[in-house]
Every structure is written in C-alpha cells, then in structure tokens.
Amino acid sequence: MNVNTAPAGSRQFVAEPPFWGSKVASKTTPAWQNKFGKSYALMVIGVLAFSAVIGGVYVGLQSYSASRAPEWVLELIGRGFPLFLVVLLLAGVYGWYWWSRRRKIIISVTSDGLTVSTRPGEMYSFSDANLGTWGVTGGATMGTALHLQCGSHRFILGGRDRRIAAGTRLEAPDAGYGLPVDVDAMVPAADFDEILTMVGRKTGLDLRPPGPDEPTRCLLFTNSLKVQEISSFSFRKQQQFMRSLSQARLAIDVAPDVIRVVDPSTGALIASVSPAHVTATPVTFRPRQGRHWFFPGLGNVMSDVATDYWSTSPGMSVAVPGMEPLTIGCRDSVSGLDFRFSWPGGVPTVDARADYEVSGTDWLTLAEKFGLAAHLQTKGEGNQS
C-alpha cells in the first residue's frame, strides 16, 4: 500500500512483517530435514511432557476438589477441563498473533535507498542491491526478493507474486519459509514494481517482468501433510519423506498456446498439450485427522482444530491427457493463520489430501490459466500481479 503522506523527495509504502513463524521455520526446517531423528525425538519428548503436565494438573485439581467442591463443580471439571485448556491455549496464541500482526512496517524510498520504520537510523543503499528468488522451500515461487545492505546489516524486501523475466541476473540467495534466510518485510507486487523502478534507475539492474509470450513455470511439491499418513513409528520413512519435500516433483509450464508437464529434476517432457485439452475442477480437500493417544479429551479437540484450520485447503483436480489426474492444493496464507484462498459454497469436498501443493503465486497462475480465477475468493492484497 502506497502512503500519500511521504516527505518531499521520497515515497512511502506500508509493508507487512514476514509470515507468522517463518523466522523460526528458517532455523528449524533444515534441522527437520537433515537431523530428523533428533528433531522427532525432541518433539515427542515435548508432547509427552506437555501431556504429563496437563494430566498432572487435571488429577491434582480433581483431588483437591473432591473434598472441598460441590458435585456440580466436579462434574463441570470432569467434562469441561480439557476443552477449557484448549480454549485458553488457543486464546493466548491468537492474542499474541493478533498483536504481532497489527505492527505495520513503513518503508520510505528515495532515489538513493530506503529506510525502515522498525530500524531507525539505518539507510539501505541501492548501490549494492541484489535480486533473488523468494521461495517457500527449494524455489517454489512466492515472488521476488530485493536484498539490501547497510554496513553489516541486511534487509530483504519481498515482492509478493512479482515474477521476473527469464534470464534476469539473480545474485542473491533464495529466501523464504524454511530456508536459511527469509524476507524481513513484504509488499504487494504493484508496490514492489514502484520500488524496483527506483532501484533500476540507480543501479541499472534488469528488473523487467515476464513478457506476455514467455512461459511461466509452476512447481508442484509433494503435499507435506502426507507425512500424517505415515506411521508415527516409521522413523526411516518419515525421515526420507521430510528430506524429499525440498525438491519439486513436477513442473507445469504454462504458455499461451501449450501446457507442458515436465520432470524438473531431469527436464524430461511428460506431456505437452493444448490448453483447450486440459480440464480443471475446483475441490476442497478436508481429510479426517486421526485421534491422539497422549491425552484423549485434549487430543480429540486438537484433532478437530487441526482439521478445520490447517489440513483443509482449496484445491483443483487437473486432467491432462495421457496422465493420471493431478490433485493440487494450496495452503498459502495472508499473514500466517489467515488462509489466503478459498472456493465459494457448492464446491465439492473431498475427504483426502492433495497429492501436490503449490505456492500462492503458482496457484494464481494455474487458476487463471485453467479458467478458475473468476470463482476464487482471495484475501489481502497479495493477489496483485
């Protein structure tokens, strides 16, 4: 969002902080992929410890109330205590999340560089600016990242859904959720274009967007939620699965007159057809979660919450001649917990997980190419392109 009250000679933009939890994920995801055994053991210990604490409080409260509370209080504790704890936990998390998301970042841009409201006294020069990809994991397109320096301090601005022309020089490392570096703030593609225009005048960098005839590659990754279909005790399978998530399984190259499905690791062509021969159907994926055994009452409630707020996702079933239908989902978010995309009522619900997932940027490309964009409901400003 452009702010019209900027001082003379500068432009101001309202940026959003990075995705909720992305900084933590940048540190923990490599550990999950490379040291899965230790990470999984720590998670299990943490869950057991949490369950033991909850169970101890529950038993202690019942014992204390047995001799001092009337019967109706005991019944209330017995029936409502697990739900009360879940509600209390979720209320605390949501309160912190709501507070953190209210923080807006004001970026002031001049012809020489930019300043950031959360980093007073620092001017990030355009003279050594570099571009890089902005990916979820392994290069799934979220947009483009502008890397700037102020002495030893680095600032990375993400342009959501902003693609760049093929052959553009990219000297900065990939940034994104689950990668060693992540963006520090993000703006919609339209605002990012304005900033890049000012950068280009100073540096001469090639910052062109893709041309209308240039094919766009959309990367399909294995749905990370499919790890829930692997037994909790199959450590080797889970480890192999987690390590595979950073590599795209398929690529769909979208061009005005052709759709190509490619193996991105080898470049082998799997299918090449006219867009008229490809059909896509909108669906909503809503798999049923398994019940937890750590603490039955709490586990059942948490299972339902996970289904409603995490596993459910908009999706599409894409039929390409000569291939099995591709089931594709997208769990992109506006700012962390608010999911970005949804279908209107009446779209079929499937009790399953999609085989593949794509980034929000690639999701918008596929929805537009397959004629589904008019039905797509989108939150936030990230849908600009």
Q: Which two tokens stand for residue 218?
A: 């959309």
pLDDT truncated to tens, each residue of the chain (385 aa)?
A: 555 554 556 789 999 887 655 554 445 444 444 554 554 455 556 556 656 666 665 566 556 555 555 565 555 555 555 566 666 666 766 666 566 666 778 999 988 889 999 999 999 998 888 888 887 555 567 889 999 999 999 999 999 899 888 888 888 888 876 566 788 998 988 899 999 888 887 777 777 888 888 999 999 999 888 877 777 677 778 777 777 777 889 999 999 999 999 999 999 999 999 999 999 999 999 887 554 443 444 444 444 444 455 678 899 999 999 999 999 999 888 765 678 899 998 899 998 899 999 989 999 999 999 999 999 998 865 443 3
The reply to whether 309 falls in a domain is yes
Domain final residue pick, 203, 236, 259: 203
Cα separation values, 34 from 40, 130, 134, 238, Å: 11, 29, 22, 12
With beta carbons less than 8 A apart as the criterion, state whether 277 and 261 touch. no
Domain final residue pick, 181, 203, 225: 203
Does residue 137 share a domain with residue 274?
no
The reply to whether 61 falls in a domain is no
Counted residue by residue, the chain has a size of 385
The reply to whether 85 falls in a domain is no
Label the pairing between strands 123-135 and 141-150.
Answer: antiparallel
Does residue 292 share a domain with residue 148?
no
Alpha-carbon span 5 to 287, nearest angstrom = 48
Alpha-carbon span 343 to 317, nearest angstrom = 13
Alpha-carbon span 366 to 309, nearest angstrom = 24
Q: What values do phi and psi take at 163, rounded to 5?
A: -95, 160
Does residue 275 share a domain with residue 129?
no
The reply to whether 77 falls in a domain is no
Does residue 195 share a domain with residue 231?
no
In 11-56, DSSP assigns E strands to: 11-15
Does residue 277 share a domain with residue 159?
no
pTM as predicted: 0.71
The reply to whether 93 falls in a domain is no
Does residue 171 share a domain with residue 228?
no
Does residue 233 share a domain with residue 339?
yes
The reply to whether 80 falls in a domain is no
CA angle at residue 46 from 42 to 51, to 5 degrees?
Answer: 150
Domain carrying residue 120? 2-17+103-203
Q: What values do phi and psi take at 58, rounded to 5?
A: -60, -50
Residue 45's CB: how many other CB atoms inside 10 A? 10
Number of domains composing the chain: 2
Domain final residue pick, 156, 182, 203: 203
The reply to whether 344 falls in a domain is yes
Cα separation values, 362 from 203, 357, 359, 368, Å: 29, 10, 5, 10
The reply to whether 303 falls in a domain is yes
